[in-house]
Amino acid sequence: MTRIDQMRQNKNTIMKKLFLLLSIPVLLSTACTKQKGLDDNPVSHNNSAFEDNPNGGGGNNTTSVPMAVLSAFNTRYPDATRIEWKKLSDGNFKAESFRGSVSWQAIFTAAGNLVKEERD
């Protein structure tokens, strides 16, 4: 093998390694981005839900949320404001709300049982 062939082979090897090193961060960044999926479908919206919410904090998208879920949420979080509901693909309901200046999420079963609560 001539010296020129060795230089070309080294150059190709270096280029392959460089390409691999540069593609890893791109792959990792796309794998870590949140994509809106089927489990984050908003529940249908009804403007009258704002006036009907006894906690005074708004509460959009409540028309398709079962009364048991709304009752459990309002009992547990009477001071919640800016409430948004989403129906998850597993049949549970997720409420995103604020208590004071802190953002919270709570997941309830259709029967109104709390599955999970989390501070954002």
Q: What is the pLDDT of residues 46-94, one digit of tens each?
A: 333 333 344 444 444 566 899 999 999 999 999 999 999 999 999 999 9
- Are residues 51 and 104 both part of a single domain? yes
At 21, the pLDDT band (50, 70, 90 cuts) reads: confident
User: For the chain, what is the total number of helices (H) and then of strands (E)?
Assistant: 3, 5
For 110, the domain range is 38-119
Residue 62 — φ and ψ, nearest 5°? -95, -5
d(CA 37, CA 35): 6
- Are residues 51 and 2 both part of a single domain? no
- Are residues 74 and 108 both part of a single domain? yes
d(CA 50, CA 96): 15
**Average pLDDT, stretch 92-112?**
95
- Are residues 69 and 105 both part of a single domain? yes
- Are residues 111 and 58 both part of a single domain? yes
